[in-house]
Amino acid sequence: GAGVSQSPSNKVTEKGKDVELRCDPISGHTALYWYRQSLGQGLEFLIYFQGNSAPDKSGLPSDRFSAERTGGSVSTLTIQRTQQEDSAVYLCASSAGSWAGELFFGEGSRLTVL
């Protein structure tokens, strides 16, 4: 597609349920990032994929969070046993690979945990 696509755009779930958030990056982009943006806060780094290298998971807040990237393209962020503090907008971004390059962001997935 022309840009980074994320789904769902909005997700409301009950505490304790698992959720999956999907990111479809720009075709050909080797780098993919997940960030979390809580209300009134900046962007919190979660995880970074670069080509076939092992992902940088240093930002994942707990073992309830995991992410995978299949075939070097689509990525899924999974949150198990959701908690209310997981409520946030989850942003995905991709880039052509250079660490100095521009990140292209999706519109985000807003997660609300009741």
25 binds another protein (CB under 8 A): no
Contact pick of 2, 14, 39, 42 for another protein (by CB under 8 A): 42
Q: Please state, in angstroms and rounded to a whole number, the distance separating the CA atoms of residues 47 and 58.
A: 7
DSSP state of 40: T
55 binds another protein (CB under 8 A): no
Contact pick of 59, 72, 73, 74 for another protein (by CB under 8 A): 59
Task: For the CB of residue 69, give the shortest distance to another protein in the complex, in Å.
Answer: 15
**Can you state the percent helix, strand and coil of the chain, rounding each to 5?**
5, 45, 45
Choices 12-20, 31-39, 65-73, 76-84; region in contact with another protein by CB under 8 A: 31-39
Strands 19-24 and 5-7: antiparallel
- Written as six digits, the tokens of 17 are 């349920």
Q: Please state, in angstroms and rounded to a whole number, the distance separating the CA atoms of residues 85 and 24.
A: 25
The contact set with another protein (CB under 8 A) reads 31, 33, 35, 40-43, 45, 48, 50, 56, 59, 89, 91, 93, 99-100, 102-103, 105-108
